[in-house]
Chains A and B, each alone.
Chain A
């Protein structure tokens, strides 16, 4: 199931937060609009992450260029949503769930934008990797590991966005709990790449690039976790950041 299929239907989000129950119809519309914008941005960022990752794995410079170019769109979306949220705060004085929605949106888009930035890092590294032949010689093994981690991250991000669309806190809690798996995998890749670097010092540059990509993936994982924490805050009103699960 793709994210867009899940997120385009407003059922879970709207009904759980009663976004269509305001006396002011325009307020309903505005909140719905914010939701749609955030989901759109989420889809865009997800695509960026996936494309960036495949650009790195396939050393595809063209795709990498596209990813870098598309990041402008992500940035402009962040500005747009920010402005929109400011307007709502100024004009509607949202309270309770509405307030949590706006606050979580403002925070979420920051994380999404950072994810977008990480995707740009993929792109930049992919272009540089494409010039060498690291992938064919030394990098085969680490890239497989990277691919593995990337797949995991991509799936997690997808799940997180669906959870966001449906306000599914169970899924969100699961992702938050599984954050350490990503960290472990990142450690594995790091160790592997350190070994490679010691074996073949000429490839240190490329190996470092792969390390940065792995690092970026790990960062994306962290941002995804943050997203899930905002879901919990939005739905339950609980702040579960910094391991504060009670």
Chain B
């Protein structure tokens, strides 16, 4: 409109109607925009609220899950011990107390502690009630204590042999049924699940004498699997998992990165590489149990590697994670700006130098992320490991990658399958440990990632 300042009256006359039409179209445009604007804002609002709902819903589910698991797992972290007056009578032990110390020490190792335990317990309760216990009562009474109790009193005596023929107080574990009973809210002396009225009365008596104590469950972390829930621990499974992951990481990371680098930077683009690419992508979608079958058929049967070993588990999981790592690494390598490659090439760097001193460090954060996704996947994998025998009941803690072992998820699966009530808490506790492990790996990855990004 400003250029309508014109000396000639003719042109100014021409300008005025034009400005009028322009103004009218402008106002109608504004109206139309204003009209549609309301709709657009509404759409935006709707989308925002849907998104927020999705996020909140997901978050809520996670909170419920973690909360549920944690609440179920908590009882597994402590267990009840009982203080017994153990009478190490040499005739109960069937040892000769007059023999020399060397001989005695040897005899103590193979002595009859079960008899000591039984007799001490019967003595404790018969003196307190003043009447003789029946056979049935004796059996019920003895059931209160863990099968491990006789070994506990054995260790106590071997640690201090001078207590022979003396009465000593020793803390022993209670049986898992008793432990579960004590952890639940029953009235004093009331019979519980797998606990008779009589047993409940005895427990009440022990409690009033302040002989029962709840302690932190150390053995959960230091012991291996056991048929007895009060003795079962996750150390074996944890070690198995760590060893398996070690093998998996050691194999899949270098292989995956090397494969990705070759395919992205060196391989000629032709039909064969296309085929390889398609296959890798397909491999990522293969059900994991198929890898287990492959491991069983090829690695164990053909190559003769030991079954149930973390080495075999690691190899099988490597097969499973390799496509994930390759795909993620290739994406990360592709994302490295070509200008960086050009800069190095322009200075006369060879392809190898460009790849290893520029492309790889730049792609590293992405590669690490991919590797972590792969490893996390492997960490929770159960099916392929079932196929190669890592599901076996193994009491020993594995110390090398060829020892028989199991892994955390399989352990969880086994415990969840067990009939004993106490294993319910153990299962949840093991899940918590698994989640913690996952968290540790993720945090490590984040730290590593930020370290690489800073460079």
Instruction: Decide if A and B touch, CB cutoff 8 A.
Output: no
Question: Which A residues are closer than 8 A to B by beta carbons?
Answer: none
Question: Which B residues are closer than 8 A to A by beta carbons?
Answer: none
